[in-house]
Structure 1
Amino acid sequence: MKIQELRTLLSASDRAHLEKAFAECYKQLRKAQKEEIDSVLIGILEGKSMEKKKTGDSIDFEELEQQITAFMKNAYDQNYFVPNRIIPKSQRPKWRFMVKNFIKELEKIPPENDNYQKAVKLLTDLYQLICEACNYYLFSTDDPFRSIGWEQPAFFELLVKKTFAAGYSRENISLLLLYATTGGLSREALHVYQEIILLNSLKTSDVSYMAMEEAKKLIDERTKKLSSLQKYDSQRYYLESEIDELCSMILLTAIKLAEPEQGIDYYFKHSTRTDKEITLYRALDLISRIDDNDLWMKVYEYGIQKKIKPRDDLIRTYEKLKKEIP
């Protein structure tokens, strides 16, 4: 019932019934809830005025953290997917509602809350879990993001917003670069969606340069690992994919900083594609997403200078743009 309805009901009841109802309600509270409410009750009974609680204080964070930690362990153990004695069959489909509620509760916690950093870490862990579930069956679904009612870019945007609300640092930028360019994808997402979201969250040139530096470090680390692998090692595909996505992030950031030449040179130099025509195609596809025809033509001409022969549809697009742009 609503608070006004409760007040009306209380005003019409005698004291004996009120005391009994109050005591029974108090018994239903968990220990942590009792400890939290005791000071409020004592204050009211002593006639003290109650200060309005800050947003997020109503969340029993310790309990929420325990619930999320336990949930994630069971998820990674596939207890929501395969038959087991830990999660009853009837409870397994409820994982999606649990995740939705976890996100909702974590989203409420403001930066000034003492548990804010822990909340961001838990939100990050949940995002990584759902990404992992896109690659491996942890739940009975083909698209975990859709199952929890979130589009992957929107969830990532929330994660970026919450992470940067506590300030920019090389560490959190580096981690977000990894989350944007690697990991599982929903059926309706591409890494570039997350990359553009992260790019738009780099609010100053200093932060953008920092992101480029961190991306280059990540590429160097992966290039070093790549050089130590055998030709047909299964890890090569994943490392090469990560390098290429990080190159895309560097190109996008260089464009944002009005230094496209630097980004283009780096992109073509560090792309792992042996077929340079594919490198050109991917670079042009990336630029088409930011709707810059002048730059598209510039990259195309850069490829021609590098003696790359573009595919027919790229040639047609270039000729069309050349006629349209004075």
Structure 2
Amino acid sequence: MRIRKLRLLLEQYGDTTLRDIIVEIYRQLPRQVIEEKEFDAMLTQFVKYKDLQKEQEQPTVEQTIAQTDRFIQLAYDLQYLEPNPIVPLREQKNWYITAKRLLKHLRHYAHRKNGTQIAFEEFFFLLSSAAGEEPLFLSNDPFRLLKVSQVDFFQELVGYYKNDSHGIEWMERALYTALKVPMDVDTERSDLLLAVLAHCETAEHQEAYINCLNVHAKKLQSHVRIDADALSTYQEIRFAELHALISLRALERAETMLFTEYIPYFSHRSTPFRYYLDLLERAGLEQEHDRIERVGRKKRIHF
């Protein structure tokens, strides 16, 4: 029903009937909807609620940055996690509602070269820390609550890096972030690395991407035998590198890397070999897939 028609309809009822209608509607609403839409605040302080709604519809860029900075600082200070006089319990429980609103406003301004891109980046770091490093909110899985994956959020951030940079500086910054940021439970390190590759639209950028990854991998090689985390990161880097080589159709280089820089760093040869076959299959390279299968059989790799 349209709002205009609803208003005309409600004019037919008296105050008592309207009160009964409101109570019945409220009773039928799910608790989550009541909390997300802040219906309690609307019913108890309607004028204040309407004023706040107008203010929140689209604050200025300065207000958006200030509100985001405050939210981030309060979160790192554990004000959304522990009882305190600054953030009420109700707001602690509904932190993701505030986060959704701030994210919407940041996206409105983030295409401009201003402080909102920095605020967007800090917002991503905050959610990643809360997801993979330390609890900062009363609820887990911050990305799920905001209905955005860490990979999609990061890919959006990489786009801002790219628009605000010349040469390959954006790529180096993005790869460094992908390798250092805490991981969400639903995300693999290679997912973030491949999100950077998605922004490499030319062969030149893809080659630069491969070179950057190789530099990071070489730095880790001396640690992989004694550090399990370093080994895992190394494997993820080489996986992304293989993906890029296949995208470039540099299949000889990919095969060389597979047997010299990738497979030797797994306890079983079959696992990385299957990964590579899957990459070839997804790329539609059936003949190369069949050829590599034959190579695997000759090398007595079980897959």
Change (3 A) 1:130 1:288: farther
Look up the match of 1:52: none
Contact persistence 1:96–1:148 (CA under 8 A): yes
> Map of 1:17-56 to 2, 5 A cutoff?
none
Match of residue 273, structure 1, among 263, 266, 289 = 266
Alpha-carbon distance change, 294 to 124 in structure 1, aligned in 2, over 3 angstroms: farther
Equivalent residue, structure 2, for 1:240 = 231
Query: Would you say 1:133 and 2:130 are equivalent positions?
Result: yes
Aligned equivalents of 2:78, 2:150: Cα separation in 1: 21
Aligned equivalents of 1:212 and 1:220: distance in 2?
A: 12
290-299 vs 200-209, greater mean Cα deviation: 290-299
Identical-pair percentage: 20
Residues 82, 304 of structure 1: CA spacing in aligned structure 2 closer, same or farther, 3 A cutoff? farther
SS of residue paired to 2:94: helix
CA shift at 1:150, angstroms?
1.2
- State the SS of the aligned residue for 1:202: coil
User: Which residue number in structure 1 is paired with residue 250 of structure 2?
Assistant: 259
Q: Partner of 1:142: helix, strand, or coil?
A: coil
How many residues in Structure 1 have an aligned counterpart in Structure 2? 246
| RMSD (CA atoms) | 3.0
Contact 1:130/1:144 (CA < 8 Å) preserved in 2? Answer: yes
**How far did 1:108 drift?**
1.7
Structure 2 residue aligned with 1:48: none
CA shift for structure 1 position 243: 1.2
> Conserved in 2, the CA contact under 8 Å of 1:199 and 1:253?
yes
Provide the rounded CA distance (Å) in 2 between the counterparts of 1:83 and 1:297: 61
Match for residue 289 of structure 2?
A: 296
2-structure distance, mates of 1:242, 1:295: 27
Task: Could you tell me which runs of 5 or more consecutive residues in structure 1 were left unpaired when the two chains were aligned.
Answer: 1-27, 34-57, 312-326
Runs of 4+ in 1 over 6 A off after TM superposition: none
Which residue of 2 is the match for residue 249 of structure 1?
Answer: 240
| Structure 1 residue 85 displacement after superposition | 4.3
Task: Using the TM superposition, give the Cα deviation of residue 197 of structure 1 relative to its aligned residue in structure 2, in angstroms.
Answer: 3.6
Supply the distance in 2 between the matched residues of 1:192 and 1:159 (Cα, whole angstroms): 16
Q: What is residue 154 of structure 1 aligned with on the other side?
A: 152
Give the CA deviation at 1:250: 0.9
CA distance in 1: counterparts of 2:256 and 2:135, whole angstroms? 40
Kindly provide the amino acid, as one letter, of the partner of residue 138 in structure 1.
L
Superposed displacement of residue 193, structure 1: 4.2
Aligned to 1:97: 97
Whole-angstrom CA distance in 2 between matches of 1:285 and 1:182: 27
Which stretch has the larger CA shift, 202-211 or 169-178? 169-178
Q: Is the 8 A contact 2:113 2:164 kept in 1?
A: no
Contact 1:254–1:262 under 8 Å retained in 2:
yes
**Which residue identity is paired with 1:126?**
F
State the alpha-carbon separation in 2 of the partners of residues 71 and 213 from structure 1: 38
Structure 2 stretches of 5 or more lacking a match?
1-50
State yes or no: 1:68 paired with 2:68. yes
- Taking the aligned partners of 1:164 and 1:187, their CA distance within structure 2 comes to 27
Contact 2:150 2:184 in 1 (8 A): yes
What is the match of residue 109 of structure 1?
109
Query: CA 1:205/1:99 → structure 2, altered by over 3 Å: closer, same or farther?
Result: same
Deviation sequence 1:226-270 (CA, Å, 0-9, x none): 16x8x3xxxx22211211111111111111112022123224423
Is the alpha carbon distance of 1:299 and 1:79 closer, same or farther for their aligned partners in structure 2, counting shifts above 3 Å?
farther
Partner Cα distance (1:211, 1:152) in 2 = 21
Deviation, structure 1 residue 180: 4.3
1:212-251 to structure 2, matched below 5 A, reads 212-224=210-222, 226=223, 231=226, 236-251=227-242
